[in-house]
């Protein structure tokens, strides 16, 4: 989609100016790897809500003006707030180095280095928190769902690096894994990792792609799978406006099981007094879905059967 060719209200904006705006937004390190299509879409929504900003970008457009800087600031805040894109650049750098180490070792080794996998998972707070319980989580989960042969991981972050922690019979049994996120850099690293896994075990096939989980129609087009992971995604999907987006994702994704997880601690690290989400219970009842709850120290998993 070219925003320069899109009518916003009655306003057309020069594509070159839009490109410059996107470049300026991406100057912040934590936003550098965010999909450009996605930023364009957010810009489009923002300008439909703020007509003055749209007119300014169409008519006046001065990069040195206070208004331009304010637009950049508001857009960055919006992207950071709703899309959970707090990535420290040093973590991202470290992740690159670690994945390179892992992939370069392929010549001599036929098995994956589990210690290195754990170090990789420790570079991100969600996956770091799961480190003490990943194996148990997958064991308990698959006791409920059966052993999946195909998995979709939506808004995956770096969770797919936990594939080598899956319980037996993996490696050695067929597994197709599709990972989706908005972070282009991490998606590229995951694709490299998947190719490495495939070279070690031909039973494994993985693909990592940039995809906006809010594009429900695109979800409907995905290949049918056994399980979809929707780990710690509901806040970024719902953005404080009810839970219709989460519901649409659960409904649209072509998976027999959808595993929806929630943190049990607040942002400041305090334990929530009522970590269960009643709305998940209501949603499942309304839709006629069965679910089982799995509780771990830092995370609660609703294992939903559609
Ligand atoms: C809190 S993290 C959770 C990561 C992973 N699911 C986990 O629990 O380890 C949220 C992730 O969702 C991604 N994200 C945010 N909005 C998204 C969207 N609309 N579509 C796809 N991914 C999205 C972010 O880039 C980030 O990786």
The residue to mutate among 129, 228, 236, 260, having the most atoms of ligand 1 within 8 angstroms of its beta carbon, is: 236
Q: Which atom of ligand 1 lies closest to the CA of 183?
A: 25
Look up the pTM and report it: 0.88
CA 132-135-136 angle, to 5 degrees, is 85
Question: Is-contact 271 265, C-beta < 8 A?
Answer: yes
Q: What separation in Å is there between the alpha carbon of 118 and the centre of ligand 1?
A: 20
Q: What separation in Å is there between the alpha carbon of 174 and the centre of ligand 1?
A: 26
Say how far apart CA 183 and CA 178 lie, in whole Å: 15
Per-residue pLDDT of the chain (306 residues; tens, 9 = 90+): 444 555 554 668 888 888 899 999 999 888 888 888 888 888 888 988 898 999 999 888 899 999 999 999 999 998 887 765 566 777 888 999 999 999 986 556 678 899 999 999 999 989 999 999 999 999 999 999 999 999 999 999 999 999 999 998 888 899 999 999 999 999 999 999 999 999 999 999 999 999 999 999 999 999 999 999 999 999 999 988 899 999 999 999 999 999 999 999 876 678 887 788 999 999 999 999 999 999 999 999 999 999
Q: What separation in Å is there between the alpha carbon of 208 and the centre of ligand 1?
A: 13
Q: What separation in Å is there between the alpha carbon of 12 and the centre of ligand 1?
A: 32
pLDDT of 107: 56
| Residue 210: strand pairing partners | 181
Q: Which atom of ligand 1 lies closest to the CA of 186?
A: 27
Q: What separation in Å is there between the alpha carbon of 72 and the centre of ligand 1?
A: 22
Which tokens hold the place of 148? 């999946």
Phi, psi (degrees; rounded to nearest 5) at 143: -65, -35
| Residue 262: strand pairing partners | 300
Reported as a single tens digit per residue, the pLDDT across 148-207 is 999 999 999 999 999 999 998 888 899 999 999 999 999 999 999 999 999 999 999 999
pLDDT of 172: 85
Say how far apart CA 204 and CA 135 lie, in whole Å: 19
Whose C-alpha lies nearest to ligand 1, atom 14?
Answer: 155
pLDDT of 134: 98
Q: Which residues line ligand 1 (CB under 6 A)?
A: 83-85, 126-127, 155-157, 159, 180-183, 212-214, 231-233, 236
pLDDT of 84: 59
Q: What separation in Å is there between the alpha carbon of 84 and the centre of ligand 1?
A: 7
pLDDT of 10: 61
């Amino acid at each position: 989609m070219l925003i320069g060719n899109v009518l916003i209200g009655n306003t057309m904006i020069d594509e070159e100016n839009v490109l410059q705006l996107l470049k300026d937004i991406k100057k912040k390190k934590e936003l550098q790897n965010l999909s450009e299509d996605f930023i364009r879409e957010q810009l489009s929504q923002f300008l439909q809500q703020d007509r003055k900003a749209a007119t300014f970008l169409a008519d006046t457009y001065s990069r040195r003006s206070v208004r331009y800087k304010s637009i950049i600031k508001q857009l960055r805040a919006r992207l950071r707030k709703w899309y959970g894109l707090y990535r420290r650049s040093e973590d991202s750098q470290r992740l690159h180095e670690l994945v390179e180490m892992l992939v370069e070792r392929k010549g001599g080794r036929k098995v994956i280095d589990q210690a290195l996998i754990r170090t990789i998972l420790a570079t991100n707070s969600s996956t770091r928190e799961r480190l003490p319980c990943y194996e148990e989580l997958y064991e308990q989960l698959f006791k409920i769902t059966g052993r999946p042969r195909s998995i979709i991981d939506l808004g995956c972050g770096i969770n797919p690096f936990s594939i080598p922690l899956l319980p037996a019979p993996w490696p050695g049994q067929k597994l197709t894994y599709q990972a989706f996120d908005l972070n282009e850099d991490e998606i590229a690293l995951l694709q490299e990792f998947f190719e490495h896994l495939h070279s070690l075990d031909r039973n494994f096939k993985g693909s990592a792609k940039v995809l906006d989980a809010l594009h429900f129609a695109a979800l409907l087009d995905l290949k049918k799978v056994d399980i979809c992971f929707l780990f710690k995604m509901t806040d970024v999907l719902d953005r404080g406006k009810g839970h219709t987006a989460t519901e649409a994702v659960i409904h649209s994704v072509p998976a027999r099981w959808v595993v929806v997880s929630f943190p049990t601690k607040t942002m400041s690290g305090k334990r929530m007094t009522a970590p269960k989400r009643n709305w998940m219970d209501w949603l499942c009842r309304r839709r006629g879905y069965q679910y089982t709850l799995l509780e771990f120290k830092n995370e609660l998993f609703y294992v939903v059967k559609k």
